[in-house]
Structure 1
């Protein structure tokens, strides 16, 4: 376990020693004594948070709604700056699920999670409590990751796969870092734009055009965190100009590019998610 320090943020971070047995799963462990108003920056994956510590994370969502404890959220959690996390004495395993496998692992379509955060108990029932108890009884991070991975693998094997054409379209978007036109994807598949939109939205939880924008934003945001100038980032990541980048960042986060560049939620990625991204 290593310590991440970024401004006022001080977190202990653990990483698995080997990749998940399920392609499209990445995970990290966090121990946070005092989490104070962390902006959840949208990410192109389904987020699954399994908490087991003495404290309990709190998600403050739009409209004054709150979720406590283990939660799950669809791709793009926190759009518009709508979700903030806080809490004390938090210990958790955070999992990023590629939308391609999320339906099988969760037992529900990511489309049911569009723009919202829900309690894992509401989705998995008693199983969520059992996982929490077992994680709390497990002494090492290596064993916690193994336990979590085994549970995810069982659910994945039992769940329905997405259409191979939909999986191909997602991987193409991720591989091209959002620099692909939806019309071109549909043409390469031999599908109509309407058919691609419908299948993609129902199986992955977001329409293809938003997926393109989200993947492009994610790539640009991490380059901003790395210290690159906004004008250079805009030019290299497919934005018309710096103003276009500014509008997109504002829409996704509710903040300016300069503010996003200092977000610990993004800065921790090089430590916590150093392995292959969930594609």
Structure 2
């Protein structure tokens, strides 16, 4: 249910804006160092209309989220499988689709505030992850007490099929696999995740392409975008560049230049933003 969990702490850095990129996972962040300010644009993130919360819950989105990086920050960031949202969050992932970021207490309840305060008071990452794991296991164990209901098996299998094909399959092939019409499948899939199957497939394909770009940069290897596009199921190089511009707001080379420091620090190793 939790694809990755990353603890982070930085200090002495120059205040900046970070692009939280779209991915096929939900984002949950417990800040250990004050509120996190986010927005749909740089101006919103740095202005009075920014969303500020110390527990962040983010749904599946189609454009970057801008996050203010202060001089020092610390927290734990989770990438959560969208089909685990009912179990861990108590609602389907589609319920998060209308907002870029939702305050964590609005989703988890007051116990999340108690957990965050406990995490702030612990001295080691081992203890923090142990406390967070216990909390999530308790959420999963008591999921039946919440009225969200189960994920439809056709939707679960459709997501698994897209993941196996790394987002490169066709909607026709997917609908035949789950024995539903394309229209019915799209309706059920969107009701559960907030995205149509084609949008989820694009996110999965982009995630694999971005990982390949990051690997080449980390290894100081040449960026062969045409080969990466072909390997990841894009029609051609221009379609890969198009997705990079939509999901990052930059070309692949422009995004790499901006993220160079984070890549060198290993911030993209997990594949989760």
Return the alpha-carbon distance in structure 2 between the equivalents of residues 94 and 122 of structure 1: 18
- Three-state SS of the structure 1 residue aligned to 2:141 is helix
Equivalent residue runs for 1:198-277 within 5 Å: 198-227=187-216, 228-262=223-257, 263=259, 267=263, 274=270
Structure 1 position 47, deviation (Å) = 0.2
Task: List runs of 5+ in structure 2 lacking aligned partners.
Answer: 144-148, 217-222
Over the residues paired in the alignment, what is the CA RMSD in angstroms? 2.4
Distance 1:272 1:30, change over 3 A: farther
Q: Which has the higher contact order (CA 8 A, sep 6+)?
A: 1
Of 213-222 and 228-237, deviating more is: 228-237
Return the alpha-carbon distance in structure 2 between the equivalents of residues 84 and 221 of structure 1: 19
The answer for the alignment partner of 1:42 in structure 2 is 22
Structure 1 position 269, deviation (Å) = 9.0
Distance 1:82 1:138, change over 3 A: closer
Structure 1 position 260, deviation (Å) = 2.4
Structure 1 position 25, deviation (Å) = 3.8
Are the equivalent residues in 1 in contact too, given 2:40–2:64 (CA < 8 A)?
no
Equivalent residue runs for 1:1-279 within 5 Å: 23-33=1-11, 34=13, 36-53=16-33, 55-62=34-41, 64=44, 65-68=49-52, 69-76=54-61, 79-114=62-97, 116-159=100-143, 160-227=149-216, 228-262=223-257, 263=259, 267=263, 274=270
- The C-alpha deviation readout for 1:196-235, integer Å capped at 9, x for no partner, is 1122112223211100000001111111122231111112
Distance 1:95 1:40, change over 3 A: same
TM-score, with length taken from structure 1: 0.81
Distance 1:161 1:265, change over 3 A: farther
Structure 1 position 257, deviation (Å) = 1.1
TM-score, with length taken from structure 2: 0.83
Which stretches of structure 1, 4 residues or more, deviate above 3 A after TM superposition?
A: 79-82, 268-274
